[in-house]
Amino acid sequence: MRAEVEELFEVLTLLRNPQEVQDFLTDLMTPGEIEGLAVRWQNMKLLAEGLKRKEIRAKTRASLATISRANRVVIHGTGMIRTLVERLEESG
């Protein structure tokens, strides 16, 4: 892995609260990039919660191809999406 990517991962662990995360992402990314990231998260979260692709499309307006790619990550990824969905449910 490139050193710059590893450093980015390390920097993310230094953020201490949601406001710092928001400030960092606002400085780092364009509003469109943040919105895209938020939609990607929603697609994955809803898939992990068991919603059907057509239901997710109605909620997020993402294409079925985008949702299908997200589904592959939820199914075959590292498992972190499901872990974070569980943590979010526990904290809420």
pLDDT in tens, 17-70: 999 999 999 999 999 999 999 999 999 999 999 999 999 999 999 999 999 999
Encoded amino acid at 31, one letter: P
CATH code of the domain containing 34: 1.10.1270.10
Which domain, by its residues, includes 73? 3-91
Under a CB-based contact definition with an 8 Å cutoff, are residues 85 and 42 in contact? no
What is the SS3 string spanning 42-85? HHHHHHHCCCCHHHHHHHHCCCHHHHHHHHHHHHHCCCHHHHHH
Q: Which residue has the tokens 């928001």?
A: 22
Over residues 1-29, mean pLDDT: 97
Task: Please count the structural domains in the chain.
Answer: 1
| C-alpha–C-alpha distance, residues 33 and 8, integer Å | 17
Q: What is the pLDDT of residue 1?
A: 75
